[in-house]
Structure 1
Amino acid sequence: MLKKKNSPGEPDIYHFPELDDLGFTSFVTGRRGGASPAPFDSLNASVSVGDTQVNVSENMAKIKKSVGLKNLWAPTQVHGNKVAVIDSAQPSSSVEADAVITCVPNLTVAVRTADCLPILLADPERKVIGAIHAGRGGTQLGIAGATIKKMVERFDCDPVNIRAGLGPCIRFCCYEVDKESAKNFHNCCGGSRKRHIDIAGANVDQLVTAGVSKEKIYDSSVCTSCENSRFFSHRADNGVTGRFLSGIALNG
């Protein structure tokens, strides 16, 4: 379950206690408490949306201070299914991928979203973490399952030990797409032209199929479109908005 992490007056930060209790630091930023003006108001974590570097740098500094982060790394997201493996505390500054896994202590791995599903992974036995950006494209390409497979291959993880935190994303109630875009989503419904699809549900299915226990999947159940005052939503904000950050670190 996603819970508020910080004190009043600080930037909005949430976390998964189920992950933190096992020796990890998880976080999901809200949209309040930052420096960015509308339409990126206000805790925007991305310069790629049109906000200034000055604003985003100030926001990132606030996030790092509030969470207590040391090193932070996020991939260049491309809506695919590539999984980056980080084995250094000083990784390359630019890698195109939509998931990242590592066993490096005190290195926070994170993804930026505004309707797509952020997934945080933690294996307390092998001391491995991961962060996934699962949009419609990545979900159709099996990004969640591919990430679990890579954790098994590279770090000898057993999927039954892996925990997963599903952050805020656009939910079934608000995610209406055309019939073509809904292809490969079995958990959808709608009329002859439009369909509602369940990004979170599809990724839960992938995780379970990959061997993760459903009881160890912690879903925030937050819809970014419904909760647009708390989280950025590309759809609710008509395509011009900020990005919130979801990340996890292995405590050293």
Structure 2
Amino acid sequence: MTIKTLFTDRGGGVSRPPYTSFNLALHVGDRREDVLRNRTLLSRAIGNVPIVWMEQVHGDLIRLVAKAETATFPACDALVTDLSGVALAVMTADCIPLLLYDTVRHVIAAVHAGRNGTFLKIAPKTVRTMQERFGCEAADIHALMGPSIGPCCYEIGEDLAAIVEKSFGPHYMNGRYLDLQRLNADMLEDVGVKARNIEISATCTACSPNHYSYRKEGKTGRFAGLIWMA
């Protein structure tokens, strides 16, 4: 069994400005037919593998995928499966697209780790779901964080910064700039994921012209992180 991952960017699709051009989200005001065309192009690009999407709500609800078919799961922010031949997708435009996989038990997960989801500890909760439902060992789980807004650009308000320092520790803040990636990585390590198995993209979406950034652009599209087994 081979684990495959992909992070798209904003190029190669049919969406018009300001969604130019490979927007994959239906909820941002883009033309529905263009988004569906982009999703079809994406499925073809990965070998016509069906893709499971989420209606993400910045919460901590985790759903299990039991069928290898294209679908959209309502009101959740993480998907987990042990099925091959189906891709799990997470859409972002600054939040962390977190992909988890266990090559021993052959289990994969896609996680929407934005600020709210991170504060709700969705990453370690997904690891626990993999353990409880599929018998995974935390030491066998790998984590891949795709492009997201980095500590160079993620400025938050003073009140929220004070909450982060009190709840999680001052080392996640540099003035009013939050290191969301390190916070998620430490949460994963706290539940047994090995530091050597955690990979963090160096791409900041607010800095990159090739990625959507809600913080920078406001009205914009969403790119996706995908994971599947073949």
TM-score by length of 2: 0.93
Q: 1:174 aligns with which of 153, 175, 191?
A: 153
Say if 2:211 is the partner of 1:231: yes
Is 1:189 aligned with 2:189? no
**For the residues of structure 1 that align with 2:152 and 2:48, how far apart are their CA atoms?**
34
- State the 1:94 CA deviation: 3.2
Partner SS state of residue 181, structure 1: helix
Distance 2:104 2:77 in 1: 24
Alignment partners' CA distance in 1, 2:210 and 2:182:
22
Give the distance between the partners of 1:204 and 1:134, measured in 2 at CA: 11
- Between the aligned partners of 1:90 and 1:83, the Cα distance in structure 2 is 18
> Is 2:59 aligned against 1:80?
yes
Percent of aligned pairs with the same amino acid: 37
> Which of 102, 126, 143 is the matching residue for 1:147?
126
Task: Find runs of 4+ consecutive structure 1 residues off by over 3 angstroms.
Answer: 90-94
Cα displacement string for residues 5-44 of structure 1 (whole angstroms, at most 9, x for unaligned residues): xxxxxxxxxxxxxxxxx71121110101111111101100
Q: CA–CA distance in 1 between the matches of 2:127 and 2:92? A: 20
**CA-to-partner distance for each residue in 1:70-127, whole Å, 9 max, x for gaps?**
1110221111111111122248643211111000111111110000000111100000
In structure 1, give the amino acid aligned to 2:3: F
- SS state at 1:120 partner: strand
Task: Give the counterpart of 1:68 among 26, 47, 66.
Answer: 47
Tell me if the contact between 1:69 and 1:108 (Cα under 8 Å) persists in the aligned partners.
no
Residue 248 (structure 1) aligned with residue 194 (structure 2): no
Give the gaps of 5 or more residues in structure 1.
1-21
Mapping for residues 1-252 of structure 1, pairs under 5 Å: 23-90=2-69, 93-182=72-161, 183-184=163-164, 185-186=168-169, 187-190=172-175, 195-227=176-208, 229-237=209-217, 239-251=218-230
Residue 218 of structure 1, CA deviation: 1.4
TM-score normalised to structure 1 length:
0.85
* Structure with greater proportional helix content: 2
Structure 1 range deviating more: 58-67 or 166-175? 58-67
Question: Partners in 2 of 1:23 and 1:40 — Cα distance?
Answer: 33
8 A contact 2:87–2:226 mirrored in 1: yes
Deviation at 1:67, TM superposition (A): 2.1
Q: Is the 8 A contact 1:121 1:162 kept in 2?
A: yes
Whether the aligned pair in 2 keeps the contact of 1:123 and 1:161 (CA below 8 Å) is yes
Aligned partner letter, 1:241: T
Secondary structure of residue in 2 paired with 1:144: helix
Shift of 1:60: 1.2
Alpha-carbon distance, 1:207 to partner: 0.8
Structure with the larger RCO, 1 or 2 (CA within 8 Å, 6+ apart) = 2
The offset of 1:219, in angstroms, is 1.3
Aligned residues: 224
